[in-house]
Amino acid sequence: MKAEWQEFASGQKLADALADTVAERLEGAIAARGTAVIAVSGGSTPPPFFKALSRRKLNWARVTVTLADERFVPSQSGRSNARLVTQNLLQNDAARAGFIGLYHNREDVEAAAEMADRAVGALPLPLDVAVLGMGTDGHTASFFPDAENLDELLDPAGDRHVLPVHAPSAVEPRLTLSMPLICNARLVALHIEGADKRKVLEAALAQDEGPMPPIRTVLENAVSPAHIYWAPKKDAKP
Please give the torsion angle defined by the CA atoms of residues 139, 221, 204 and 128, in that order, rounded to the nearest 10 degrees.
Answer: -60
CB of 95 to ligand 6PG, least distance (A): 22
Largest CA distance in the chain: 50
CB closer to ligand 6PG out of 28 and 74: 74
Residue 117: phi, psi to the nearest 5?
-60, -45
Using CB under 6 A, which of 23, 37, 52, 68 touches ligand 6PG? 68
CB of 229 to ligand 6PG, least distance (A): 12
Using CB under 6 A, which of 11, 135, 138, 173 touches ligand 6PG? 135
Residue 66 lies near ligand 6PG (rule: CB under 6 A): no
Residue 65 lies near ligand 6PG (rule: CB under 6 A): no
Closest CA to 73 of 42, 96, 98, 36: 42
Residue 178 lies near ligand 6PG (rule: CB under 6 A): no
CB closer to ligand 6PG out of 50 and 60: 50
Query: 119 near 16, Cβ under 8 Å?
Result: no
Using CB under 6 A, which of 22, 26, 42, 182 touches ligand 6PG? 42
Separation in Å, CA 127 to CA 59, 61, 68, 105: 17, 16, 11, 25
Residue 80 lies near ligand 6PG (rule: CB under 6 A): no
Residue 235 lies near ligand 6PG (rule: CB under 6 A): no
CB of 47 to ligand 6PG, least distance (A): 9
- Name the H helices within the chain: 11-33, 47-54, 81-88, 109-121, 150-153, 179-183, 195-206, 214-221
Query: 81 near 99, Cβ under 8 Å?
Result: no
Residue 164 lies near ligand 6PG (rule: CB under 6 A): no
**Cα 157 → chain centroid:** 19
Site residues for ligand 6PG per CB under 6 A: 41-45, 68-69, 81, 133-135, 139-141
